[in-house]
Amino acid sequence: MAINFGTSGIRGLETDLTDDLCYRFARAFLRHFAVQPDAMGAAAVKQCIIAGDLRRSTPRIMAALASGIQAEGFEVLDAGVIPTPALAFECIKRGVPGIMVTGSHIPADRNGIKFYFPWGEILKADEAPILELERILQGKVLRPNQPPAERKPIQVAESYVSRFVDYFGKDALSGCKVVFYEHSSAAREIYPAVLEGMGAEVIRMGRSEEFIPVDTEAVESLRALGSEVTSRGAFALISTDGDGDRPLLIDEKGQMIRGDQIGIIAARELEADSVTTPLSSSTALELSGWFRNVRRCKIGSPFVVAEMETVKREGARRIVGFEANGGFLTGSDMISPTGVSLSALPTRDCVLPALLVLVAAQKKQASVSQVIAELPPRFVVSDLIREFPVEQSRAVLSKLLSGAAALFDRKWKDSLGACSDINSMDGVRASFAGGDIIHLRPSGNAPEFRIYVESESEERAGRLVQVVRRWVSGELVA
């Protein structure tokens, strides 16, 4: 099966990510990197960092990538098992490119590869050239019995932990009892060290030696974690997905906090003057009235990064972005009230946004739930129709785009009010007079169709998303 780029990096079955393919992708990425206008100094250094998550296939893929890196004349710096944002941070700090092996939250029999320049993750415009270079390199394969590439081990944990402890202070979470769900997260060593460095009492639980594909947006599958907070009388429970770039936050009542709620509070605490987020995040962002400039983009961190670069050119000074999953990006340096600088990290990070929520509650002498309650009541519930052929997705999208307002009105006007706005930036997103929003989009190259519904309550959004699912599967495919 052909391997292609998804919303962030390439992904596929571990059996499809062959050693030869990974070898070629490493070479293709570094050749593409070498021709970047900003790459002159870094290309002269000739170093590339590799890191990975805890999947069973990750060591093999890292070894193949290392051989490809070495074949391009670069020294391989091996950071081992670390979260993705820690790799990105180290690339920026050292001024060198990097490659992360991770499948994030997808099943254990799959994996993926993410590529980083010394200034941040690659963008959508970089994907086609890398794929073309990999195609050109088709004849390049690892020789039988080829010796493994030399790798120089490097330590990145200390500087990544210090990034947050220095910014927030060693007493920022003093007196807070925080439960950390370890599972098989690549952040399970670093993240608790950050919390402890800020004065929190950390209770670790749920460590697994087998890989668990934790999806931080799968509310039902994670609901049982709520009792881990309430039974211990903890301030909150924190965790991440497999590669540590999406936050999981559960409040003192055992309620899971949605990623976009975390992102909005985090942006407020940083006093952002520009916030970028995909269409799938709730309109609580705009309704809060806290931000001078709000930008919407397509789903996927490369689109968030690209829009943040645009607003930077337009003169914004405190630039952030986040995804609906809570992954948080900073497009400019942030200065704390005490004058400490937090350098820009334009890739998804899970540590910063969750810390900002906890510290906000601590400062107010409030609970996490009380801080979240400051947001306007807007809730997004999503659903996924699997085994939905790509051709069928295209046909549904074409039908919607050819007469979206009339089509939505005919079906939903009596129950939701008239269709008041259509946004076709990423699929079709329809807003209704009654305040509800329905967003439909194909899932990239996968045979899946995604549904997002936003309403004034989570219960209403949950009911409506099921009705919309039946509509898509019935009338729209007829």
Give the CATH superfamily of 379-477.
Alpha-D-phosphohexomutase, C-terminal domain (3.30.310.50)
DSSP string, 169-235: -TTTTTT-EEEEEEET-TTTTHHHHHHHHTT-EEEEEEE-SS-----TT-HHHHGGGHHHHHTTT-S
Question: In three state form, how does the secondary structure of 28-74 look?
Answer: HHHHHHHCCHHHHHHHHHCEEEEEECCCCCHHHHHHHHHHHHHHCCC
Two structure tokens written together for 417: 């009010």
Containing 391, the helix (H) or strand (E) segment is helix 390-402
Query: What's the pLDDT at 477?
Result: 78
Query: What's the pLDDT at 314?
Result: 96
Two structure tokens written together for 74: 């670069």
Q: What 3-state DSSP class applies to 134?
A: helix
The C-alpha atoms of residue 191 and residue 183 are separated, in whole angstroms, by 13
The C-alpha atoms of residue 408 and residue 418 are separated, in whole angstroms, by 8
Domain boundaries, the chain: 4-155, 159-372, 379-477
Query: What's the pLDDT at 223?
Result: 82
Per-residue pLDDT of the chain (478 residues; tens, 9 = 90+): 678 888 789 999 999 999 999 999 999 999 999 999 887 666 667 999 999 999 999 999 999 999 999 999 999 999 999 999 999 999 999 999 999 999 988 889 999 999 999 999 999 999 999 999 999 999 888 888 889 999 999 999 999 999 999 999 999 999 999 999 999 999 999 999 999 999 999 999 999 999 998 888 777 768 889 999 999 999 999 999 999 999 999 999 999 999 999 999 999 999 999 999 999 999 999 999 999 999 999 999 999 999 999 999 999 999 999 999 999 999 999 999 889 999 999 999 999 999 999 999 999 999 999 999 999 999 999 998 988 888 899 899 998 888 888 889 999 999 999 999 999 999 999 999 999 999 999 876 668 899 999 999 999 999 999 999 999 998 887 6
Query: What's the pLDDT at 43?
Result: 61
Name the one residue in this structure whose structure tokens are 């903890």: 234
Q: Do domains 4-155 and 379-477 have the same CATH topology?
A: no
Find the distance separating the first CA and the last CA of the chain, reported in whole Å: 29
The C-alpha atoms of residue 118 and residue 219 are separated, in whole angstroms, by 35
Query: What's the pLDDT at 38?
Result: 80
Query: What's the pLDDT at 403?
Result: 84
- Domain 4-155: give its CATH code: 3.40.120.10
**Catalytic site positions:** 104
Nearest CA to 84 out of 69, 101, 68 is that of 101
CB 319, CB 343: distance < 8 Å: no
Two structure tokens written together for 213: 């594909």
Q: 11 forms bridges with which residues in the sheet?
A: 4, 112
Query: What's the pLDDT at 39?
Result: 74
Q: What 3-state DSSP class applies to 340?
A: coil
- Domain 159-372: give its CATH code: 3.40.120.10
Each residue of 332-347: b (16+ CB within 10 Å) or e? Answer: bebeeeeeeebebbbb
CB atoms within 10 A of CB 79: 22
